[in-house]
Structure 1
Amino acid sequence: MTESRQAGARTIRMEVARFRPGEDDAPVMQGYDVPVLPDWAVLDGLNHIKDRLDGSLSYRWSCRMGVCGSCGMTVNGEPRLTCGTFLTEYGEGPVRIEPLKGFPVIRDLVVDIDGFLAKLSSVRPWLIRQGEEPPLTAEYAQTPEQLEAYKQYSMCINCLLCYSACPVYVLDPDFLGPAAIALAQRYNLDSRDMGDRFDVLSQDDAVWGCTFVGECTKVCPKHVDPAEAIQRYKLTAALRSVLPWSRR
């Protein structure tokens, strides 16, 4: 069924960045003609290339449902999830696929995210409890209002589109970045959390490094609004400087 559908479909040109560090001097664009079906995302086009045209192409993907965040790439200059970006959006083409900006390239469209993972770990994105712990069968009950306080920031899928879109991060790789700060806020605003992330967040390369361009929020596929999270914590940090006993 799939082959018959492809046989009658028009094609679109996909120009894909190819790069092997240590072997290639610079990335080059390689063109492939792929079928355009109404329900085909850019990721389907890449899978067609991998399966039918060039098995050497390297890229990341997993769920195809906009949940795992692993298929983020630069599509015609914009950071996008390729599983949710459809070929029909680009008319007659071409569709240019490149790795996310601001990250070292491992191969082709695969980028090195170790730096981001270290930043994420530094904000301790988990519930921090102090003192005696209740039994494992106990629950930390929350009201709907308490859940709503942080729910938006909990939707982050670590797709890194916000980092690729952020002009501060592209110029300064030491910048803590939108997703890490938004996830820190997710726990800061959780009524069950007892941690203190002030020393990590209130730094020149953390919230104070943000110039509030807002591109991180614009490209976020889950509407997390990391720009808002950063600005909210700027206010918290400013109040904390004046009122040291205030933590939230």
Structure 2
Amino acid sequence: MQKDNILFHIFRFDPDNDKKPYLQEFKIPVTRKDQTVLEGLFYIQQRLDNSLAFRSSCRAAICGSCAMHINGKYRLACNTLISKLTSDIITIRPLAHMAIHKDLFVDMGPFWKNYEYIKPYLMPNKPLPATREQIQNPEERSRIDILIDCILCACCHSSCPVTASHEKYLGPMALLNMDRFVSDTRDGAREERLTMVNNEHGVWRCHTVFNCQEVCPKDLNPSGSIAHLKMKIVKNKI
């Protein structure tokens, strides 16, 4: 039976005004079976407390902006249905291992620096053809079919116990995306890329806990990508 109302317990913290974080309770009306957690947050912001801070954009599980910790798991609020959460209380916390600007709104600067570090663009080692199109056959393209689906939501980063204890660790997102370019036949910087992650803050820091794989909203396999990079490093004697 569909509930008429449900309680949201939301992490609140304003560094400028609060001494410590706390959970605030809100009662949300549930009017549809397909009502999402993000819709509940908007209801609170628009009708109950307009000071609530959180990120969102596409509402279609494409941009990754609304990633947060919902009832014990990192998820996207826009595609998490209230009806699918079995608890009578929905507890929402911000992404972990990042400084809190306010409430569910965190500083993702270090996360983006890790993405920038891996040089997330093709670096061909020869001049582009006159058509400026680099052809791939179906087999070559299939090597990156899954890898290109990362939406940079940071669920994997926040669930990883290593990013919590080693701030210089690149993290599963950066290493998965590094594998994306190492596996791309159009890229000519394989040795340079493998050297970039062949260190204590790269692939060798991973403890293979698989949290990253468990929480990925796109069912990607960062742990598998890290293992693949390790094999490439050993094989190529980087």
TM-score (norm 2): 0.94
Counterparts in 2 of 1:18-37, with a 5 A limit? 18-36=12-30, 37=32
Structure 2 counterpart of 1:222, one-letter code: K
SS class of match (1:169): helix
Deviation at 1:90, TM superposition (A): 2.5
Matched with 1:235 is: 231
User: Runs of 4+ in structure 1 displaced over 3 angstroms?
Assistant: none
Q: Greater CA deviation, 18-27 or 116-125?
A: 18-27
Rounded to whole Å, the distance in 2 between the matches of 1:146 and 1:223 is 21
Query: Which of 176, 181, 190 is the equivalent residue of 2:175?
Result: 181
2:220 equivalent to 1:224: yes
Q: Greater CA deviation, 98-107 or 232-241?
A: 232-241
Matched with 1:199 is: 195
Structure 2 counterpart of 1:82, one-letter code: A
Number of residue pairs the alignment of both structures matches: 234
After superposition, the C-alpha distances for 1:33-64 in whole angstroms (9 at most, x for unaligned) are: 00122111110100110111111100000011
Rounded to whole Å, the distance in 2 between the matches of 1:169 and 1:225 is 17
Deviation at 1:22, TM superposition (A): 2.9
Rounded to whole Å, the distance in 2 between the matches of 1:111 and 1:157 is 17
Rounded to whole Å, the distance in 1 between the matches of 2:6 and 2:120 is 42
Deviation at 1:119, TM superposition (A): 0.7
Matched with 2:144 is: 150
Query: Which of 91, 99, 103 is the equivalent residue of 1:104?
Result: 99
2:57 equivalent to 1:62: yes
8 Å contact from structure 1 (residues 12, 92) kept in 2: no
Structure 1 stretches of 5 or more lacking a match?
1-7
RMSD: 1.4
SS class of match (2:219): coil
After superposition, the C-alpha distances for 1:66-85 in whole angstroms (9 at most, x for unaligned) are: 00000000011211111111
Rounded to whole Å, the distance in 1 between the matches of 2:87 and 2:216 is 26
Deviation at 1:240, TM superposition (A): 2.5
Structure 1 counterpart of 2:205, one-letter code: G
Counterparts in 2 of 1:108-119, with a 5 A limit? 108-119=103-114
Rounded to whole Å, the distance in 2 between the matches of 1:157 and 1:90 is 23
**Kindly, what percent of the aligned residue pairs are identical?**
34
Rounded to whole Å, the distance in 2 between the matches of 1:26 and 1:42 is 25
8 Å contact from structure 1 (residues 150, 186) kept in 2: yes
8 Å contact from structure 2 (residues 140, 184) kept in 1: yes
2:116 equivalent to 1:121: yes
Structure 2 counterpart of 1:38, one-letter code: K
Rounded to whole Å, the distance in 2 between the matches of 1:84 and 1:125 is 27
SS class of match (1:231): helix
Query: Which of 189, 206, 212 is the equivalent residue of 2:208?
Result: 212
Matched with 2:80 is: 85
2:36 equivalent to 1:41: yes
Deviation at 1:198, TM superposition (A): 2.0
After superposition, the C-alpha distances for 1:139-159 in whole angstroms (9 at most, x for unaligned) are: 111111101111111100000
